[in-house]
Amino acid sequence: MGSDHVDIDWEHAREANRANWDDRVPIHEGAYGVEAFADPDHRSDVVRDDLPALTPWLPGGSLAGLDVCHLQCHIGTDTVSLAREGARVTGVDFSRPALASAAALAERLGLEVTWVETDVLDARASVPGDFDVVYTSIGTICWLADLDRWAAQVAALLRPGGVFYIRDGHPALYALDEDAAELVTRYRYFPDGTAQEWDDPGTYVGEGTVAHPRTYEWPHPLSEIVNALLGAGLRIRRLDEGRTLPWRFSQRMEPTGDGSWAWPEDERDRLPTTYTIVATHD
């Protein structure tokens, strides 16, 4: 697969992305393992992996009783996992079918969650209340053109003393050629204001194709992410980099046995696959 770099306005790109995400919902409903939530102790792999890094920063040392805003919640598997930790959760996404699927899942599990349909870049104006924790993880800001605007939403959603948490694919990973037989770069690391235009009828998990295959993504270097959060007034407390991923970025990646993927053993120390940032709002 490859992508072209195009000049495109945000609203047009966002609508293309939204149509694509709407189409992915039925495929993901069958592939995200939602049936495992029948076990009340089950948590999504993403939340399971995030909790050890997030928990030490929480007032009281757990999510229990906290107000959590989950940005880009998709079909709600991470959102209900946060709710199962005892949080009062608001799930935010721009895809109506994703939120409908998420709401149905929460209802089946007997969990109360608030759902808000909005562009995350307009989240402050659309989401009622303020929060102890703003959480977003895996497959998030690559879909957003303007990180300063995103970081401003995060800061405005947090109460004083609140905690922001993100883990996502590392921008260095996104520069790599997913089809190559070795670690070589193919895409830009540094942005030039253009979007990457993709045409892919498939999705990262499950069988099936989408009716709207065109999407737009934006490269965001680590420095841009950090500076956007600092610029919004947040205090960065941790920045970590990981060696595994909860999705198979390249066919060369190998399962690690716990639902994650990694480069072959002898390549794992060469480049990060993820970054994690914990920030607080004074």
Ligand X SMILES: C[S@@+](CC[C@H](N)C(=O)[O-])C[C@H]1O[C@@H](n2cnc3c(N)ncnc32)[C@H](O)[C@@H]1O
- Residues lying near ligand X in the complex (CB under 6 A) are found at 14, 17, 21, 46, 72, 74, 77-78, 93-95, 98, 119-121, 137-139, 143-144
Q: Smallest distance from the beta carbon of 51 to ligand X, in angstroms?
A: 14
Q: How far apart are CA 154 and CA 280, in angstroms?
A: 10
Q: Give the closest residue to 74 by CA, choosing from 95, 90, 45.
A: 95
Q: Name the residue nearer to ligand X (CB basis): 100 or 183.
A: 100
C-beta of 34: minimal distance to ligand X in Å? 11
Tell me if 161 sits within 8 A of 133, measured CB to CB: no
Q: Which is nearer to ligand X, 17 or 90 (CB)?
A: 17
Rounded CA gap, 139 and 168, in Å? 6
Min dist CB 160 to ligand X, Å, is 25
Contact 169, 245 (CB under 8 A): yes
Q: Tell me the one-letter amino acid at 39.
A: D
Give backbone dihedrals phi and psi of 205, rounded to 5 degrees, phi first.
Answer: -150, 140
What is the helix (H) or strand (E) element at residue 134, kind and residue range?
Answer: strand 131-137
CB closer to ligand X out of 98 and 234: 98
Got the DSSP string for 32-78?
A: S-GGGGGSTT---HHHHHHHHHHGGGSGGGSSTT-EEEEES-TTSHH
Q: Which is nearer to ligand X, 72 or 274 (CB)?
A: 72
Tokens of 25: 């919902």
In the complex with ligand X, the residue whose CB is nearer, 95 or 273, is 95
Residue in this structure with the two tokens 């998420």, named with its chain if needed: 102
| Consecutive H or E run containing 229 | helix 222-231
- Dihedral of alpha carbons 72, 78, 79, 85, sign: negative
* Least distance between ligand X and beta carbon 220 (Å): 13
Smallest distance, ligand X to C-beta of residue 184, A: 25
Please, what is the minimum distance in Å from the beta carbon of residue 270 to ligand X?
25
Point out which residues pair with 238 in neighbouring strands: 278
Residue 182 or 255: which CB sits closer to ligand X? 255
- Rounded CA-CA distance 53/165 in Å is 9
Q: Which is nearer to ligand X, 162 or 246 (CB)?
A: 246
Residue placing its CB nearer to ligand X in the complex, 206 or 267: 206
By beta-carbon distance, which residue lies closest to ligand X?
A: 139
**Three-state secondary structure call for residue 186:** coil
Per the DSSP assignment, residues forming a β-bridge with 89 are 68, 113
Q: How far is the CB of 247 from ligand X (least distance, A)?
A: 8
CB of 142 to ligand X, least distance (A): 9
